[in-house]
Amino acid sequence: MNYIDFGIAVSLFLIFFGLVLIFTTNYFSNLSSLTKTSEFRAVSEGVFNIFFERKGTPENWEKNYSVFPVQLGLAGDLYIIPVLIKEDGGLDRTNEPITVEIIFDETCQNKSWNNTIRVYDENYNQMNLEISNATYCISQFLNQSNITWNVNISANQNKNYFLYYSPDDSITAPSYVPLSYNTSSWIPTDRDEWTNTTTSWSRLGGASGTVTNDTTYKKIGNSSVNITGTFDTNTLGLRYNPYNNITGASNGWYVDAWLYIDDKSNLKNVTFRMNDNNVSILVNITDYVSSGIWHHFEKRIDSTSGWLNWTSFNASSIDYIDFYSENNSKDLTRTIKIDGLHLKKKPLEVKTFPETLTNAFSSVKFNALKNMDYDEIRKTLGENYQFKIEVGGDSYGEPVNKSANAVCYDYPRVIQSTNGSINKAVTRLCIWK
Ligand SMILES: [Ca+2]
Ligand SMILES: [Ca+2]
């Protein structure tokens, strides 16, 4: 993150903090105008703090609420990671999958129960998401993972998303439908269709070797495209050459593929090449590939991005794509693989901000509270006070006695529901004697 991003993050935090102060100040000043005695005010503040600001003691008292907790509290830890998506390629996107790598819990304090992970846009619309490459601390508490969701975004637009997670292990997994990888941002639309088959692939050069699918050694999907062959006097490689030209992209798009060569020794060159029926442009990647390691090749298709032999090129109509190596002598045997070959729009810029911890209203704790005896809870408030809590359409307590000069206040608050969904709702507490 650069200093500008950090500045934005700090500004957002200060604004947020300022709003909290304003709300809190308003609340207490409303309260003081409504309450006539400082004693009542103190009690009201105390009840507000107990229910909404504290987690209770023990913090997970809701797991065994038949034993009256040392202290009540309806707050729960909720972590938020803001994610900013920037479209700066001047291209509209439909269903473009974006993936963020998140370290949820570096030191394994069990902060992130995997079922609690949710992503919302700035209007609290929940995103369908996919968790992959997860590592765990213990049980289902995440250490880190990749989170993927689909983004619709117009050319040159910015969008904010919010990733939430909490340690609440009573929350069950959401029922997401499998994430669609059918996007206008990739050709083929799932980025992997070409390399999951040997259709349209052939050996390039070589004296022997047959193109196969390798279902074991691969980077994306079910298989990579593989050749193990011996050199002729010049080249050994793979050619993707569909009958019809590849259309739908244009100059300014990117080409993306995972490339592999088992042994680079004694080879003269390793090259990636594309042909548009007119010219072949190529990139010499000899210095970037290592023996026996997948190399991620990603390059913008335009005249200024370092393609050799660019006199002209038209990415809107591509005839064939090659990945090959060159050698001066015959009979050398090598294995070459390619996976996930696709064309794509300029990648969206994804900025992930540091996590913040907030006190959310825990619906799980509220449900536990509702199962407890009202009079027992009242005793903890002292002085025969009565109370009522309302959250959205949900409530607990006695009907508010308006003739008893009840003091009520409303406060918008982030709610974590028992099914793990996140929303913002008005919480309301009334207290009277
Ligand atoms: Ca594949
Ligand atoms: Ca062709």
Q: Cα(193) to centroid of ligand 1, in Å?
A: 7
Residue 329: pLDDT band with limits 50, 70, 90? confident
Burial class (CB in 10 A: 0-12, 13-18, 19+), 224: buried
Comparing C-alpha atoms, which of 352, 266, 281 is closest to residue 311?
Answer: 281
**Mean pLDDT of all residues in 322-347:** 94
Q: Cα(80) to centroid of ligand 1, in Å?
A: 34
Residue 40: pLDDT band with limits 50, 70, 90? confident
**Greater pLDDT, 50 or 256:** 256
Contact 290, 264 (CB under 8 A): yes
Report which bound ligand comes closest to the CA of 274: 2
pLDDT in tens, 62-89: 988 788 888 889 999 999 999 999 999 9
Report which bound ligand comes closest to the CA of 192: 1
Q: Cα(267) to centroid of ligand 2, in Å?
A: 28
Residues of the chain with pLDDT > 70, as a percent, come to 91
Per-residue pLDDT at 9:
58
Per-residue pLDDT at 37:
60
Res 118 pLDDT > 80: yes
Per-residue pLDDT at 97:
95
Residues with CB under 5 A from ligand 1 (ion): 192, 195-196, 220-221, 339
Tokens of 117: 């992970």
Report which bound ligand comes closest to the CA of 260: 1
Regarding pTM above 0.85, the answer is no
Q: Cα(146) to centroid of ligand 1, in Å?
A: 19
Per-residue pLDDT at 405:
78
Contact 282, 272 (CB under 8 A): yes
Report which bound ligand comes closest to the CA of 202: 2
Report which bound ligand comes closest to the CA of 188: 1
Residues with CB under 5 A from ligand 2 (ion): 241, 319
Any idea which of 19-33, 134-148, 374-388, 409-423 has the lowest mean pLDDT?
19-33
- C-alpha span between 125 and 102 (Å, rounded): 21
Tokens of 56: 């209770």
Comparing C-alpha atoms, which of 105, 1, 91 is closest to residue 351?
Answer: 1
**Mean pLDDT of all residues in 232-248:** 96
Burial letters 148-169, b for 16+ CB under 10 A, else e: bbbbebeeeeebebbbbbbbbb
Q: Considering just the CA atoms, what is the radius of gyration of the chain in Å?
A: 30
Q: Cα(297) to centroid of ligand 1, in Å?
A: 15
Report which bound ligand comes closest to the CA of 218: 1
Q: Cα(241) to centroid of ligand 2, in Å?
A: 4
**Mean pLDDT of all residues in 184-189:** 96
Q: Cα(217) to centroid of ligand 1, in Å?
A: 10
CATH of domain 187-344: 2.60.120.260
Alpha helix locations (H) across 71-128? none
Res 6 pLDDT > 90: no
Q: Cα(325) to centroid of ligand 1, in Å?
A: 21
Per-residue pLDDT at 4:
54
Q: Cα(348) to centroid of ligand 2, in Å?
A: 29
Q: Cα(82) to centroid of ligand 2, in Å?
A: 44
**Mean pLDDT of all residues in 402-428:** 88
Per-residue pLDDT at 337:
98
Comparing C-alpha atoms, which of 326, 304, 310 is closest to residue 274?
Answer: 310
- Enclosing H/E stretch for 378: helix 374-381
**Mean pLDDT of all residues in 377-404:** 85
Tokens of 30: 């409303």
Report which bound ligand comes closest to the CA of 223: 1
Q: Cα(331) to centroid of ligand 2, in Å?
A: 29
Per-residue pLDDT at 11:
59
Q: Cα(201) to centroid of ligand 2, in Å?
A: 10
Per-residue pLDDT at 331:
85
Which is it for strands 407-416 and 356-362: parallel, antiparallel or unpaired?
Answer: parallel
Directed axis angle between helix 3-34 and helix 38-48, to 10°? 140
Q: Cα(245) to centroid of ligand 2, in Å?
A: 5
**Peptide linkage before 412 cis (omega within 30 of 0):** no
Report which bound ligand comes closest to the CA of 225: 1
